[in-house]
Amino acid sequence: MSTSPMPAEAPGLSAVLRLRGRAFGPGDFAVMAVVNRTPDSFYDRGSTYAFSAAVDAASRLIEEGADIVDIGGVKAGPGTEVDPAEEIRRVAEVVAAVRDRHPDVIISVDTWRSEVAKVVAEAGADLLNDTWGGVDPQLAEVAAAYGIGLVCAHAGRVEPRTRPHRIAYEDVVADVVAYTTDLAERAVAAGVRRDAILIDPAHDFGKNTWHSLEVSRRLDELTATGWPVLVAVSNKDFVGETLGGLPVEERHAGTLATLAVSALQGARVFRVHDAASARTALAVVTRLSGAPS
């Protein structure tokens, strides 16, 4: 039974996510594919850092079934400092090029900075993926001004690109539900379209492995709020640790299992490195759940 509080104004279980003219209702699964324009990504280790490599990777992922391409210019974990100007240099031209090559694809940008958000919105982005949980309140204002979407995430109230030591919650899922739904309602109050907002528990962000597993077990408490839920679990540390300490290149099967469990609990958007495998796994979930294919 759910123990998390419902938001004061839940949008309803039939809430539909609408981005760039596409609609994803309950039971629909959207694959969000990752393109890292960083030299130090934990997963691809800079293989898509070059401009042409990043744009070509986006095209390949779209061909493999990605509905959304999520472009990022800053490694999530600790590392070399990347200021806003450098982040803009890395992501804005890729957004513009992908938009030119793929007019209909949904483009997301992984950023927590409003100054970056404004530039990429002008370049053609449809969604701002704020994985650090609203540290820059002006990000929602940018989304509202440009009529684009926003991801409201729970990162444990930590500073971007930090890994807190011994973080604790009385009830991590209750905290995630309360925090993300509050961010979502504040975004609506700032003028962001209600049907362009997602909530994200942000596995491993401000959480240890136990917390991330608990969120996965009880993800239905997030989907019960009515807000479309994004899950970003692809090859993450909690998957590797759960399987005995597997390195990143051996976490694929665990990733797909976690995606399937999340989909069965009602998650709507899935951020992944392997779009083709995710699309196949989600197709199986659709058939198993009895939903129309």
Q: Please name which of 226, 248, 241 lies closest in space to residue 42, comparing C-alpha atoms.
A: 248
Number of H helices, E strands in the chain: 10, 10
- Based on the number of CB atoms within 10 Å of its own CB, is 138 exposed (0-12), middle (13-18) or buried (19 or more)? middle
Report helix angle 51-63 to 84-101, nearest 10.
50
DSSP label at residue 245 = S
Catalytic site residue 99? Answer: no
Q: Please name which of 99, 100, 49, 104 lies closest in space to residue 72, comparing C-alpha atoms.
A: 49
Catalytic site residue 236? Answer: yes
CA 18 to chain centre: 15
Which residues, at least 6 apart from 7, have a Cβ–Cβ distance to it below 8 Å? 177, 181, 182, 184, 185, 225, 227
Catalytic residue among 207, 236, 251, 268: 236
Catalytic residue among 113, 207, 268, 271: 271
One-character DSSP codes across 37-58: --SS-TTTTTTT-SHHHHHHHH
> Strands 68-72, 197-200: parallel, antiparallel or unpaired by DSSP?
unpaired
Residues annotated catalytic, as ranges: 236, 271
